[in-house]
Amino acid sequence: MKPINLNQRLAGKVAIITGGGGGIGSAVARRIVAEGGRVAIADIVLDSATEVAAELGDAALAVQFDAGDPASIEALIERTVEHFGGLDILHNNAAITTPEIQKYDTTAVDIPLEVWKRILDVNLTGYLVGCKYAIPHMIARGGGSIINTASNSGIVGDLGRIGYGTSKAGIINLSKHVATQYGRQGIRCNAIAPGIVLTEATKKSVPHIAESFGKHLALNRMGTPEDIAALVAYLSADESSYITGQCISIEGGSLIHQPHFADYMGDQ
Ligand SMILES: NC(=O)c1ccc[n+]([C@@H]2O[C@H](COP(=O)([O-])OP(=O)(O)OC[C@H]3O[C@@H](n4cnc5c(N)ncnc54)[C@H](O)[C@@H]3O)[C@@H](O)[C@H]2O)c1
């Protein structure tokens, strides 16, 4: 392996971060640029992508796209390659997180099928389509790294959010398939599974989350977008060149134990 400059691990690399205007995506964009990379910050909300790109100067490009629209994903990838001259890293990170849609993402009986379909289109099919159009460009550069954001919700069941959880479970296996199918051509593909991460949006949409989830976290603190960005940077860099097809949990130890026992102890 070539010697690694730990401050500039991503020098010369080009990344696309979908949902790059959001809480986690913007932290990833900042981290990749801090490590020497260049980024396309892609989001359905152009204003938020533009705001993050403006902070990062020439190393960043804001692109509007819809992760639920395959033509728009293809256009995002072509525009990035044209602008930066190639593509090495794809962080599929966009997901429907708005309470206006999430409130309909309920149970098997109650979820409206159009809500189920839109969630799977954006959160899961959008990730496949990103891989479909990014991989040939990565192979042309000798390889690349794809990081797909899953979630704790893709590993266990829940009382609500059946669409979200199912999309995140699909991402874990999608990542293994892509890793298996293109590993020999230098493509690595991994999923990451965050637990609760305190972004501005999470703080607003679930204000009491720290209190209710706190007692289940082995590490006794909530996750931050910067925690996730550090993992994405590592998986993007050549330093992780022997890791592929994995789902790496980054969740403070919330799923390593039986939650009812923590509740029981808390009641004593
Ligand atoms: N925050 C958490 O607690 C948490 C936990 C586990 C997993 N995740 C995952 O992390 C990722 C980032 O979430 P976040 O917390 O930063 O949320 P966020 O709402 O801050 O960011 C999501 C971004 O995706 C964009 N987006 C939504 N629909 C889109 C579409 N159709 N096309 C393009 N962009 C679209 C939004 O505009 C937003 O900027 C998501 O995949 C989410 O499921 C988050």
**In angstroms, rounded to a whole number, what is the distance separating the alpha carbons of residues 244 and 180?**
8
Q: Is residue 204 part of a domain?
A: no
pLDDT(6) > 80: no
Q: Report the domain count for the chain.
A: 1
**In angstroms, rounded to a whole number, what is the distance separating the alpha carbons of residues 110 and 90?**
34
Whether 164 is catalytic is yes
pLDDT tens sequence across 215-251: 789 998 899 999 999 999 999 999 999 999 999 999 9
Q: Are 201 and 24 a contacting pair, CB within 8 Å?
A: no
pLDDT tens sequence across 178-206: 999 999 999 999 999 999 999 987 877 66
Backbone angles phi, psi at 233, to 5 degrees: -65, -40
Residue 224 has which token pair?
A: 């931050």
3-class SS at 101? helix
Measured in Å, residue 163 CA sits from the centre of ligand 1 at 14
Q: Is residue 212 part of a domain?
A: no
pLDDT tens sequence across 151-182: 999 999 999 999 999 999 999 999 999 999 99
User: What is the amino acid identity at position 62?
Assistant: A
Measured in Å, residue 72 CA sits from the centre of ligand 1 at 18
> Which residue is closest in CA terms to ligand 1's atom 18?
22
The per-residue pLDDT for 262 is 75
**In angstroms, rounded to a whole number, what is the distance separating the alpha carbons of residues 150 and 83?**
29
pLDDT(267) > 60: no
- For residues 160 and 207, the model is more confident at 160
3-class SS at 196? coil
pLDDT(23) > 90: yes
Q: Is 151 in the pocket of ligand 1 (CB under 6 A)?
A: yes
The per-residue pLDDT for 106 is 98
Q: Is 95 in the pocket of ligand 1 (CB under 6 A)?
A: yes
Per-residue pLDDT band for 207 (boundaries 50, 70, 90) equals low
Q: Is 163 in the pocket of ligand 1 (CB under 6 A)?
A: no
Q: Is 251 in the pocket of ligand 1 (CB under 6 A)?
A: no
Residue 223's beta-bridge partner residues?
197
What is the position in ligand 1's atom list of the atom closest to the CA of 197?
Answer: 3
Which residue spans within the chain are E strands per DSSP?
A: 14-18, 38-43, 60-64, 89-92, 144-149, 187-194, 247-250
Closest alpha carbon to 95 in 61, 130, 145, 60? 130
| Percent of the chain with pLDDT strictly greater than 70 | 95
Q: Is residue 3 part of a domain?
A: no
**In angstroms, rounded to a whole number, what is the distance separating the alpha carbons of residues 182 and 168?**
21
Q: Is 74 in the pocket of ligand 1 (CB under 6 A)?
A: no
Q: Is residue 40 part of a domain?
A: yes
**In angstroms, rounded to a whole number, what is the distance separating the alpha carbons of residues 142 and 57?**
27
Residue 5 has which token pair?
A: 């400059």
Listing from the earlier edge strand, what are the strands of the sheet with 14-18?
60-64, 38-43, 14-18, 89-92, 144-149, 187-194, 247-250
Q: Is residue 214 part of a domain?
A: no
- Which structural domain range is residue 118 located in? 10-197+224-257
Measured in Å, residue 110 CA sits from the centre of ligand 1 at 24
Provide the CATH number for the domain around residue 125.
3.40.50.720
Q: Is residue 263 part of a domain?
A: no
Say whether pTM exceeds 0.85: yes
Q: Is residue 159 part of a domain?
A: yes
Q: Is 97 in the pocket of ligand 1 (CB under 6 A)?
A: yes
Q: Is 54 in the pocket of ligand 1 (CB under 6 A)?
A: no
Measured in Å, residue 22 CA sits from the centre of ligand 1 at 6
**In angstroms, rounded to a whole number, what is the distance separating the alpha carbons of residues 217 and 223?**
10
The per-residue pLDDT for 214 is 78
Q: Is residue 208 part of a domain?
A: no
**In angstroms, rounded to a whole number, what is the distance separating the alpha carbons of residues 131 and 111?**
28
Catalytic residue among 104, 127, 133, 164: 164
| Percent of the chain with pLDDT strictly greater than 90 | 84
Q: Are 33 and 60 a contacting pair, CB within 8 Å?
A: yes
Measured in Å, residue 155 CA sits from the centre of ligand 1 at 18
Q: Are 49 and 124 a contacting pair, CB within 8 Å?
A: no
Q: Are 237 and 15 a contacting pair, CB within 8 Å?
A: no
User: What is the amino acid identity at position 20?
Assistant: G
Q: Which one of 17, 24, 48, 217 would you pick to mutate in the ligand 1 pocket, going by the greatest count of ligand atoms within 8 A of its CB?
A: 24
